[in-house]
Amino acid sequence: MTKKLNFSIIWKAVVIGVLILLMLIPLAFIRGTVKGRLEYKDEATSKITNSWGSKIAIAAPTLNISVSRKVGKVNAEGKTTFSYISQYAKFAPQNADVDVNMISQIRYIGIFKTPVFTADITMKGSFANIKFENSDDIKYFPEKSYVSLELNDLKGINIPEFSWNGKKYDFEPSTLGNPLSLTIPNSYEYLPKMSYARYYERDENYTLKSLSSLVPFDNKNADFEIKFSIKGSGGITFIPLAKDNTFRIYSKWANPNFSGAFLPDTKEITKDGFDARWKINYMASAIPQNLDDAAVSQAAFTTSLLAPVDSYRSAERAAKYGILFVILTFIACFVFEITSKKPVHPFQYLLVGLAMTVYYILLLSISEFVSFGLAYFIAAAAIILMITLYAKFGVSKTLSVKQTAVIAAAFSALYGYLYVLLQLQDMALIFGSIGLFFGLAAVMYATRNISWYDEAQ
């Protein structure tokens, strides 16, 4: 008895391989469509934030004290002449207590939405015990002092209420005291469940803008209080400049994210909102009392209001598994064909593959109007029903009810597996590899009795 390769099986496997490669074309189109809608959504979000207010960065109030510095200049004859220039030295508060109520709301452009907020902020604290090193080369004049509130964006701010030792003063825009510079990584953190971490983009560099007010200061304890509201989106960043800092940030938004140099000491997150508190001293922040040329970015921390689950990014991630699902589906059809002895035409393979790709368009379009989970269920149910009915009445009219039910169950398991993958974060790789292992094991088991050779005497 001799054995010859079963060329009919080999030929069908080659055809299926070619069809899989052809399916890369519509899958690339699908991913391009998802990317286009995602860019359109980001453009709409940008329009909202540009109109309402961007990310907010705030430094605690600073005290800018007039300084006279002696400087020398060598003239053409080699002689040194001296003169005095007036500058401002910047100092941090002794303590600062910051209370922030982030009042959130949703803004829309068409079907696109993004969360924005109005932050009601109260800052209380004091300045005292500043060490002045007067000499022949430098003299400080604390009686000529300005208190400055520094922010990255003044567009959405109302007029602050400012009191100094119980007396009210007015802020006005100024450039006194060389406003602080700040660098914040423009990062997007992990979103819950079916979303995923966006890549790190370029850093955001700010030269903060100042609101200043002339105040009397004699280096004795001076209390301040500042109340204001400011509009923003995305998140709010604070720099703990004071020697002792306490922060409380709270909101009715139930999905916050905390990042940066300091996480909350205590936090409470419920479906009704969150309440977070920080206590930071100058040893932890490494920010000196004299802020001239001080690096403050390393101490910044951010509280963000995360958007509801981003269906576009979830759909984009689902589309990345498209070719894997086409391969698994074609392998399942191939196994069904050679085990049941019921031939499946290559064009029928192609139609099933196209149905798998149409699923992603359905998922994307439906998720623009309902939650991603519901959109996933509707799209998956529609495709499973279509493929099952096609297998029953188009591929093989002799399929039994049991065989039809097995096909429906297999596709249901496949889409259920993808749904679980999309919800996982750190465990996605291990879960995916285990799923592939059991999928391959199932194929090997189903084909264990197949004769891969034509047997002849």
Distance of alpha carbon 175 from alpha carbon 192, whole angstroms: 42
Q: Do 86 and 100 meet the contact criterion of CB atoms below 8 Å apart?
A: no
Distance of alpha carbon 294 from alpha carbon 181, whole angstroms: 9
Q: What are phi and psi of 279, to 5 degrees?
A: -135, 115
The number of C-alpha atoms within 13 Å of 311 and in the hemisphere containing its C-beta is 23
Q: Counting Cβ atoms within 10 Å, is residue 249 exposed (0-12), middle (13-18) or buried (19+)?
A: buried
Q: Do 112 and 44 meet the contact criterion of CB atoms below 8 Å apart?
A: yes
Q: What is the residue-wise DSSP string for 134-187?
A: --SSEEEEEEEEEEEEEES--TTB-PPEEEETTEEE--EEE-TT---EEEE---
* Confidence (pLDDT) at 167: 93
DSSP state of 297: G
* Confidence (pLDDT) at 3: 56
Residue whose C-alpha is closest to residue 53's, from 305, 255, 396: 305
Amino acid identity, position 355: A
CA-to-CA separations, 431 to 421, 423, 425, in angstroms, rounded:
7, 11, 10
CA-to-CA separations, 175 to 211, 370, 430, in angstroms, rounded:
8, 49, 55
Distance of alpha carbon 133 from alpha carbon 139, whole angstroms: 8
Distance of alpha carbon 100 from alpha carbon 251, whole angstroms: 8
Within 10 angstroms of residue 371's Cβ, the number of other Cβ atoms is 14
* Confidence (pLDDT) at 8: 67
| pLDDT per residue of the chain (457 residues) written in tens, 0 to 9 | 455 555 566 777 788 888 888 888 888 888 888 788 777 777 877 888 788 888 899 988 998 888 887 776 766 676 777 777 777 888 899 999 999 999 998 888 777 778 889 999 999 999 987 777 766 677 878 777 889 998 988 888 998 999 999 999 999 888 776 777 777 665 444 333 333 334 334 466 777 888 989 998 887 788 999 999 999 988 899 999 999 999 999 999 988 989 888 999 999 999 899 999 999 999 999 898 888 878 888 899 999 888 765 677 777 777 777 787 788 777 777 777 777 667 777 788 788 888 888 888 888 888 878 888 888 899 889 988 988 888 777 766 667 788 788 888 888 888 888 888 777 756 667 777 777 787 778 777 776 776 666 544 3
Q: Do 396 and 342 meet the contact criterion of CB atoms below 8 Å apart?
A: yes
